Amino acid sequence: MTQEQDHISGAGAAGDVWAEPTATAILVLADGTVLEGFGLGAAGHAVGEVCFNTAMTGYQEILTDPSYAGQIITFTFPHIGNVGTNEEDIETVSMAGASGVRGVVLHSSITDPSNYRATRNFDLWLKARGIIGIAGLDTRALTALIRDKGMPNAVIAHAPDGRFDLPALKKEAAEWPGLVGMDLVPMVTSAQRFTWDETPWQWPEGYGRQTAPAHHVVAVDYGIKRNILRLLARAGCKVTVVPATTSAEDILALAPDGVFLSNGPGDPAATGEYAVPVIREIIARGVPTFGICLGHQMIGLAVGGRTMKMHQGHHGANHPVKDQTTGKVEITSMNHGFAVDRDSLPANAEETHVSLFDGSNAGIQLTDRPVFSVQYHPEASPGPQDSHYLFDRFVEMIAKNKKVA
């Protein structure tokens, strides 16, 4: 036995001790549970709601999705970061804005990038984005905890020297009020109006441009993703993006052929305080309207329905949904912690889509107005492209409405 082996085995001379690695990051749950790991990304601490995401790819898109504002993402897939990052796979339209996501939890350490598109190591990218990370946790056990007890509030902290003020962190985690009643849209919406003409990425050319749009769509930005805008452009739309607090009068003054209501973070009931009156006016005017995720919840509230907090939410790129208008099943990308209560919907709001995981509502359409919405993310960035047809359905609705007018 070599001296080194003797030391590791614990059978060395007196005074020899096992050198335990020092934890440089911790996740402190609201109930006082402390999970230790190794820090990555930015140093510091942040408080948020812990959720789990089951996607195997697309971590860069997920971590730049404004819908995750206020949340700490646990990836169930163990190898995150191994293909590095690049300047193209970003979903937020505000490149200069702070990331809404509060932190990231990983099972395995990050390895060097192994993808021809990579321009930066994932750890360095997290530092640049100001996102705190922790690796070395049993993410299966954490996911099981969320499944059984719901999404906990927590503080994620990274200190390179391994020193933490545990009492203060436990107090912060316990006292954070959570996402119910919290309007997070103001921190992720655009500050001013802008236009969009970029179309989806195609190998090997990259992104294209829409040069001959047939329709004009006004997109209300509650935390909109780039790939939504790209698919609207590909469908033949000139897109004007407006901030979340834009009035119905200002939206209608742009003479839109259709209005799109985007995804976004936080409690829909809180955002609805200012968004619902605007949407009701747009619906009353008969303007074709399409909503995704938070936009779907806003439409549900606008027609008189209610939203409710979910136990563990839906976060991943492998969620089966049935389109009840066609009978087809599609695999979808989801990211939401609130849902529309189908029992609260009025008679003119017909349920069109349902989650095959838990039976929750995943889409509605109005029988007396050109309005429909889905709870999931049909732009699928990341995720399967099964639901891209919804953008064509929206354009067909716009074209039909133009003929009637």
Provide the sign of the torsion angle of the four alpha carbons 62, 152, 46, 182, taken in this order: positive
Which residues of the chain carry a pLDDT beneath 70?
1-16, 96-97
Single-letter amino acid, residue 54 = T
Query: What pLDDT does residue 21 have?
Result: 86
- Which has the closest alpha carbon to 65: 86, 93, 84? 93
Query: What pLDDT does residue 11 have?
Result: 43
Residue 59 CB contacts under 8 Å (≥ 6 apart), including other chains? 75, 80, 81, 122
Q: In this predicted model, what pLDDT tens digit does every residue of 105-114 receive, in sequence order?
A: 999 999 999 9
Active site residues: 293, 377, 379
CB 312 within 8 A of CB 279: no
Q: In this predicted model, what pLDDT tens digit does every residue of 280-336 receive, in sequence order?
A: 999 999 999 999 999 999 999 999 999 999 999 999 999 999 999 999 999 999 999
CB 236 within 8 A of CB 228: no
Structure tokens at 323: 């389109």
Radius of gyration of the chain (CA): 23
Query: What pLDDT does residue 311 have?
Result: 97
Query: What pLDDT does residue 96 have?
Result: 64
